[in-house]
C-alpha cells in the first residue's frame, strides 16, 4: 500500500481517472487527488472525494480539510504550513490524464496551479499519462516536451491508438486504461527484489468428479493465489500459476497452467517443482475424492448413490519431500477456531515447510470467497507475523516480504563458509 497522489488535468479522459482512483483504492493504496481548474469542467471533485474518501484540492490557496493526511492516517493536530504537504508525503505522483498544456508546463517547470506546483516539488517518482487529440500528441512541441520530461526521470505512460473524443477521429492519444496506469505507477514504487526468482503459485480449489456432471469441490475462489501471483510479478519474479477452477482475470505476465483435480494438481506441481525457487501453495486441494467416479450422468431413478471416498495425495507434503535445499516452500492452512495458529505450526513442522500462512475460517467475512483475509504467517525460524484483516493484496505483500526475508537469511548462511551446504537451509 502506498500514498498515491493523483493529479487530474482537464481533458475528456478525466472520467477514466475516476476509474483509476477507484482501482487504486481497491488495490489498497491511500489516494489523494489534486485537480486543475479546467479538469473540474469534466469531472467534479465530489466524485473523486466519494471514491477516495478524502477531500480534493484544486487551488494552491485553499486549506486542506484533511491537513495533508492520506486516507487511513490520523488527522494531524495542526494544518501544514505548505500547500505542497500532499506531494511531500506522496510515494507516487501519477498525473492522469496529462493534457498537452499541462505537459508543456511541466516540461518548462511552470508552477501556475496546484498540480504543476506539486510536480515541481515532488521528491517521489512521477508518472504522466498523456491524453489528447492525435495531432496535438504528434506535434513536435508535445513530443519534445515528453522527451524533456523523460530525460529528467519522469515516467511517460504512453497513450494508445483508437477512436478519439473528437467525432470520427482515429489515432494515437487515448489515455491508457486505468489498470495499465496503476501497473505502470506501481512498477515505479516497487523495487524488483524478485528479479531472476522463479515463483510457482497454486490457486483455486480442486474438483473431484462423482460423475460426468457432479463433483466434490470447495469454496476457494483463487483470489489469494492470484493476488500472490500479481504481487510476485510486480516484484520482478518469473511466475507460473497453477490454477484449479478459478474464474478470475489472469494476472498479466504470468504463465498459466490449468488443472481441475487433485491428481492433475499433483502432476502439474511435480512438473514445475524443479524449475522454481519459491513455491506458494495456496490452492485448496481436496483431501478425499470419490473412489469410483463414473463417466456418465448418474440418474436419480437409480436411487441415492453411496459415495465411497479415497484419500488424494498430499501434494505439498510430497513436494516438500522432493525439494531442493535452496527452495522456499510456503503452505496455507485454513483452520477453524482459536487453536488455528497452533494447528498451523503443527502443519509447518509435519510438512517440513519454510512458512505457513494460517487463517481462521471461523471468522466471518474473511478467507473463502472474500476479498479480505486475516492471517498469521509462521516461519521456520520461529517468527510469527499477524496480518490484521485487510485486502488479499496486502496479505500477499506480507507473504512475499516474509519469503524475501527467509531467502536473504539463507543467502547469508550460504555465503558463510562455516555453515554452508551440509544441512537443509530450510531448517537453519
Q: Tell me which residues are annotated as active site.
A: 218
Which one of 49-57, 125-133, 147-155, 279-287 is the stretch in contact with ligand CTP (CB under 6 A)? 279-287
Sole binder of ligand CTP in the list 52, 133, 312, 390 (CB under 6 A):
312
Sole binder of ligand CTP in the list 316, 348, 395, 399 (CB under 6 A):
316
242 in Cβ contact with 203 (< 8 Å): yes
Provide the minimum distance between the beta carbon of 77 and ligand CTP in the complex, in angstroms, as a whole number.
Answer: 46
What track of x and - describes contact with ligand CTP for positions 329 through 358 (by CB under 6 A)? --xxxx------------x-----------
Q: Which is nearer to ligand CTP, 69 or 266 (CB)?
A: 266
Q: How many residues does the chain have?
A: 428
202 in Cβ contact with 242 (< 8 Å): yes
203-212 burial, b at 16+ Cβ within 10 Å, e below that, comes to bbbbbbbbee
Please state, in angstroms and rounded to a whole number, the distance separating the CA atoms of residues 103 and 95.
Answer: 10
Please state, in angstroms and rounded to a whole number, the distance separating the CA atoms of residues 352 and 87.
Answer: 47
Interface with ligand CTP, residue 281, by CB under 6 A = yes
Which one of 96-104, 145-153, 277-285, 416-424 is the stretch in contact with ligand CTP (CB under 6 A)? 277-285
209 Cβ neighbours under 8 A, 6+ residues apart? 215, 261, 289, 290, 293
- DSSP secondary structure letters along 203-227: EEB--EESSSS-EE-----SHHHHH
Q: Which is nearer to ligand CTP, 5 or 341 (CB)?
A: 341
Q: Which of 18, 29, 98, 14 is nearest to 393 (CA)?
A: 29
Q: Which is nearer to ligand CTP, 334 or 406 (CB)?
A: 334
Number of residues that bind ligand CTP (CB under 6 A): 14
Provide the minimum distance between the beta carbon of 155 and ligand CTP in the complex, in angstroms, as a whole number.
Answer: 37
Provide the minimum distance between the beta carbon of 381 and ligand CTP in the complex, in angstroms, as a whole number.
Answer: 19
Interface with ligand CTP, residue 51, by CB under 6 A = no
308 Cβ neighbours under 8 A, 6+ residues apart? 290, 291, 292
Which one of 29-37, 63-71, 328-336, 358-366 is the stretch in contact with ligand CTP (CB under 6 A)? 328-336
- Grid cell for residue 211: 460423475
Q: Which is nearer to ligand CTP, 215 or 332 (CB)?
A: 332
Provide the minimum distance between the beta carbon of 260 and ligand CTP in the complex, in angstroms, as a whole number.
Answer: 14
120 in Cβ contact with 31 (< 8 Å): no
What track of x and - describes contact with ligand CTP for positions 203 through 242 (by CB under 6 A)? ----------------------------------------
> What DSSP element (H or E) covers 400?
helix 392-415
Interface with ligand CTP, residue 283, by CB under 6 A = yes
Provide the minimum distance between the beta carbon of 87 and ligand CTP in the complex, in angstroms, as a whole number.
Answer: 43
Q: Segment 252-271, which members bind ligand CTP (CB under 6 A)?
A: 262
- Give Cα 80 distance to the centre of its chain: 32
CA angle at residue 179 from 194 to 14, to 5 degrees?
Answer: 140
Q: Which is nearer to ligand CTP, 60 or 287 (CB)?
A: 287
Q: Which is nearer to ligand CTP, 137 or 332 (CB)?
A: 332
Q: Which is nearer to ligand CTP, 139 or 260 (CB)?
A: 260
401 in Cβ contact with 379 (< 8 Å): no
235-261 burial, b at 16+ Cβ within 10 Å, e below that, comes to bbbbbbbbbbbbeeeebeebeebebbb
Provide the minimum distance between the beta carbon of 91 and ligand CTP in the complex, in angstroms, as a whole number.
Answer: 33
Q: Which of 380, 186, 353, 189 is nearest to 278 (CA)?
A: 353
Residue 162 has φ and ψ, to the nearest 5°, of: 155, -170
Q: Which is nearer to ligand CTP, 35 or 218 (CB)?
A: 218
- Grid cell for residue 208: 473431484
Sole binder of ligand CTP in the list 88, 180, 314, 372 (CB under 6 A):
314
Q: Is 115 helix (H, G, I), strand (E, B) or coil?
A: helix
Binding region for ligand CTP (CB under 6 A): 262, 281, 283, 285, 287, 312, 314-316, 331-334, 347
Amino acid at each position: 500500500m502506498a500514498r498515491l497522489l493523483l493529479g487530474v488535468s482537464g481533458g475528456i479522459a478525466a472520467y477514466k481517472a475516476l476509474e483509476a482512483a477507484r482501482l487504486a483504492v481497491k488495490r489498497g493504496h491511500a489516494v489523494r487527488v489534486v485537480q486543475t481548474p479546467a479538469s473540474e469542467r469534466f469531472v467534479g471533485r465530489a466524485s473523486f472525494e466519494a471514491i477516495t474518501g478524502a477531500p480534493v484540492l484544486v487551488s494552491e490557496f485553499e486549506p486542506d480539510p484533511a491537513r495533508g493526511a492520506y486516507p487511513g492516517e490520523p488527522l494531524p493536530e495542526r494544518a501544514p504550513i505548505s500547500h505542497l504537504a500532499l506531494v511531500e508525503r506522496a510515494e507516487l505522483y501519477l498525473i492522469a490524464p496529462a493534457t498537452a498544456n499541462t505537459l508543456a508546463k511541466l516540461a518548462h517547470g511552470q508552477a501556475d496551479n496546484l498540480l504543476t506546483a506539486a510536480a515541481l516539488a515532488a521528491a517521489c517518482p512521477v508518472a504522466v499519462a498523456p491524453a489528447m487529440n492525435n495531432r496535438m500528441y504528434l506535434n513536435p512541441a508535445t513530443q519534445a516536451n515528453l522527451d524533456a520530461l523523460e530525460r529528467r526521470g519522469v515516467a511517460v505512460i504512453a497513450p494508445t491508438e483508437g477512436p478519439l473524443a473528437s467525432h470520427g477521429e482515429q489515432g494515437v492519444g487515448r489515455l491508457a486504461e486505468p489498470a495499465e496506469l496503476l501497473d505502470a505507477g506501481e512498477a515505479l514504487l516497487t523495487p524488483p527484489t524478485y528479479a531472476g526468482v522463479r515463483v510457482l503459485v497454486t490457486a483455486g480449489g480442486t474438483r473431484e468428479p462423482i460423475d460426468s456432471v457432479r463433483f466434490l469441490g470447495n469454496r476457494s475462489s483463487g483470489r489469494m493465489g492470484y493476488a500472490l501471483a500479481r504481487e510476485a510479478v510486480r516484484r520482478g519474479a518469473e511466475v507460473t500459476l497453477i490454477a484449479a477452477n478459478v474464474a478470475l482475470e489472469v494476472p498479466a505476465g504470468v504463465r498459466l497452467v490449468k488443472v481441475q483435480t487433485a491428481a492433475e494438481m499433483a502432476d502439474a506441481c511435480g512438473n514445475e517443482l524443479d524449475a522454481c525457487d519459491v513455491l506458494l501453495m495456496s490452492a485448496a486441494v481436496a483431501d478425499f475424492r470419490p473412489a469410483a467416479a463414473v463417466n456418465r450422468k448418474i440418474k436419480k431413478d437409480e436411487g441415492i448413490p453411496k459415495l465411497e471416498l479415497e484419500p488424494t495425495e498430499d501434494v505439498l507434503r510430497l513436494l516438500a519431500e522432493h525439494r531442493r535445499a535452496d527452495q522456499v516452500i510456503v503452505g496455507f492452512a485454513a483452520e477453524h477456531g482459536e487453536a488455528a495458529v497452533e494447528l498451523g505450526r503443527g502443519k509447518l513442522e509435519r510438512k517440513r515447510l519454510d512458512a505457513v500462512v494460517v487463517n481462521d475460517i471461523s471468522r466471518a467475512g474473511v478467507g473463502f470467497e472474500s476479498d479480505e483475509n486475516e492471517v498469521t504467517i509462521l516461519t521456520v525460524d520461529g517468527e510469527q507475523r499477524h496480518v490484521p484483516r485487510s485486502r488479499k493484496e496486502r496479505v500477499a505483500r506480507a507473504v512475499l516480504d516474509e519469503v524475501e526475508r527467509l531467502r536473504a537469511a539463507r543467502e547469508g548462511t550460504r555465503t558463510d563458509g562455516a555453515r554452508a551446504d551440509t544441512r537443509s537451509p530450510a531448517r537453519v
